[in-house]
Structure 1
């Protein structure tokens, strides 16, 4: 009978207490390999509060060094984020509190401060915690931005930068932080990459995610994001590059090579970041149409075999349709209307996707019903209305909406934003 992956981990970790520091260091790569092979359920069953508390006790009893603890936990945190494991146990552990205290104490040392140790502690703390403590952000953010700044493109260095930026991207979007803490350095990192291409695709995405996540609480960032750093253009270019190397015909869960799996991971993160961007950005730019085009292209490629990604594409387009700075013409030209129309007519839809699609068409319908004094805008709106009307009529959209009568009631009960029960709210009329 074969040993399960969790049993292999537990056996190997139990041997730690009887090993000296060098022997432990030799075992860590083997443990990391086991961690990489875990699925989400295995990960959550192994990395519990009890395990973290046990590690904390081992540190107290000098059975494991801080250096080896960091070596182990940094990889665990990195793997956790790539697997998208929602694991709250570290937050509750005595080890988390130890790391908090060590970060604060190391920062206080000033001249005697060990920069590498502080960065390692910050990375572990952010990668393993669900929320983290806002009081530590003023220490962790400058420290990790400094670690990521202007590093050359060597493989070892790229990995270090990737981990630092991944850790920063874990900071929850609703936490407010002062722009002085991050703006100059994150702008430098992105601009330097635009010129020198020194970041890995994941590191580049993480840098953008960190910045876009700050947008909700810092509206003044819009000018930098849109006009100085050209986010829409960069996101479109990155999505185009990433999608070239993915075989979209492989079904979800089917074995991919490592490079392909990494591309899919980064694409998912980009689409999720776009979802946040369209939710909070209030500054229009001419690059929206191209960006919608690539979201639609990914939706089309992923819809049959990668539902998680295709669903995220629909979520992003729904947010874009609700955003008042996005023009209906942008959605039309980028193919967003066609994609959501195609999705709402698919046979296998869950209620969340139905909800998002209906929200999309409700927002488009509302926008087209608005009155406008500007004659040029009136003409453009009338043209858009006619084009959308013809698309919907040709595809039998009204019958599709009518068939969702029961679904509308379910969505009203289960979702935080009630949908209108008036079918005319989802229709575009001439």
Structure 2
């Protein structure tokens, strides 16, 4: 599986070109190769500051954003690894609070690629070890690390002795990878997803989780029990009410915390999970004041992001333009909740063919003023005809987002959604690349 990336730096691009030539050998699943690469490079995963490891279908990136912001509000130096990037690959590796430099990125990728060339590594195996090297070789107080695909077989799962692990919301996504039939795994699809995510748990390390339906919850608990990880379950071991504030409590006491600045009611749940993870680990001391400051300060691009003034938004005239990279049914429901009481929106959407074309459209039924379909840059995307069965509105096709915005009727706000690849292209064209 490839993950396309480009760079204006020629040294970085040379290594990205080498990465682009890699693919996961047919039928190979497991962590043996990434462990071999780590071993050849001195096992950097064993030389990290306290690690907070996060998995989930939706919300794991936002949870990582809250963790990083809270830790930094405490005055700590933080490494962070998140996925995917939106504009520059450097966004995936934040070293001591700053995006990795082009020079360091080029050097690290070359070191790993040179060391692993004969092993036939994948894109994710190489880039994960490069991230571990960056974090091991630069002093910091903590690491926040997001899984990529699933958890059990994700390259980040070679991590050892994390301070705490967390699981955000669970839903069906990446079915072609996470639901491949395998002996000894749950047959129920959501229980299987839960098994894959919960398998980031490590013996003795707290596994902090949201509340789930009966089948996935049973899978999480059984997986953690088998591994030997104590579970901190929302509604049993910690509680959070998220109306006007976040009213959090656990056995250590209660906290009254502000709602996030990030848009969407679901963000309060992601912030609560971050708080619960910090409350259930013992490697770092975090004050309630830092939690409050971090929750307010956290930013996470392309998740119900209100775009600023720029070349693209200028084409939309005097109206608000929202951007969300969500592409699965759970993300569609979260978007729909946010706009439940809003005036009808103009939806501009591009979505990969591997995703459900109804995921965003169906939850927004009755809330749209128009539907415009654009490509997902660099990837095979659904055609307008694929979306037509899921809306009563005419589905119009445009070559790009700029053309779609310029053709909108004069009134009504805009939502651009359906793909993180599309979201990255929008941020780049509107001069809002993450920093």
Higher relative contact order (CA 8 A, sep 6+): 2
Q: Considering the TM-score relative to the shorter chain, is it more than 0.5?
A: no
Q: Which structure has the larger Rg over C-alpha atoms?
A: 1
Could you tell me the TM-score, scaled by structure 2's length? Answer: 0.31
Could you tell me the TM-score, scaled by structure 1's length? Answer: 0.32
**Larger % of strand: which?**
2
